[in-house]
Amino acid sequence: MTEQLTVRNTTSVPILDALSDRWSPRGFDANHAIADEDLTAIFEAGRWTPSASNTQPTTLVAGVRGTATFDKIYGTLMDFNLAWADRASLLIAVTVEHERDGKPLRWAEYDAGQVAAHLSIEAQSRGLHTHQLGGIHVDALAEALDLPAGRTPITVIAVGQHDDSDAVSEEIRARDASPRSRRELTDFAQIER
């Protein structure tokens, strides 16, 4: 494994290291186990995320590699995700409740996105990496996790320690090493000063 770059992403001004260093590799160390304190901290970061009217519509269902829950989540991934996600230390299914007491929770997916972002940054600050996956069989995941009616999986987040050794396939190492880019700040944010 190689050391992470001091600043992975070029920003126009300095920002928090956990943000400027954040990225989503697919090459994970299949021997890494997340420490209990790191595991708890990741979920605490998600738990204390802002929530519209404090409705807290997000529920996380997680399994550490080697558990039945990990295998259930992994078994519902699509296509290329199956080629690498089994090496992650942890898989987290992010689920949301879209309606409560007959009233729509309009911001449910927005809240879920904040949960994912906050726990990702906490993981990054602890030397871990996250990769959020959209390629999931939603209905199969809901069934595998026996989710109650009205609760829908939105994404799966793989968490672990990056590995760029020969233990990881060449294709995945090449993808992880490819340059990153973002739209220019002037295209991303329209600011009147």
Instruction: Give the predicted TM-score (pTM) of the model.
Output: 0.91
SS3 label, residue 133:
strand
What digits encode the pLDDT tens for the residues 73-127?
999 999 999 999 999 999 999 999 999 999 999 999 999 999 999 999 999 999 9
Distances, alpha carbon 9 to alpha carbons 82, 90, 161, 174, 182, in Å: 27, 25, 19, 18, 9
Please report whether residue 16 resides in a domain. Answer: no
pLDDT reported for residue 19? 83
pLDDT reported for residue 7? 53
Our CA angle for 23, 26, 30, nearest 5°, is: 120
Please report whether residue 15 resides in a domain. Answer: no
The CATH number of residue 127's host domain is 3.40.109.10
124 CB-near residues (< 8 Å, 6+ apart): 18, 19, 21, 22, 130
Please report whether residue 2 resides in a domain. Answer: no
Please report whether residue 42 resides in a domain. Answer: yes
- Report the number of distinct structural domains present in the chain: 1
Rounded distance between C-alpha atoms, residue 137 and residue 95, angstroms? 13
Q: Is the pLDDT of residue 33 over 90?
A: yes
Please report whether residue 13 resides in a domain. Answer: no
Task: Determine contact, residues 172/84, Cβ cutoff 8 Å.
Answer: yes
Please report whether residue 167 resides in a domain. Answer: yes
The residue segments making up the domain with residue 124 are 26-178
**Where does the pLDDT of residue 180 fall: very low under 50, low under 70, confident under 90, or very high at 90 and above?**
confident
Q: Is the pLDDT of residue 190 over 60?
A: yes
Provide the residue type at 8 as one letter: R
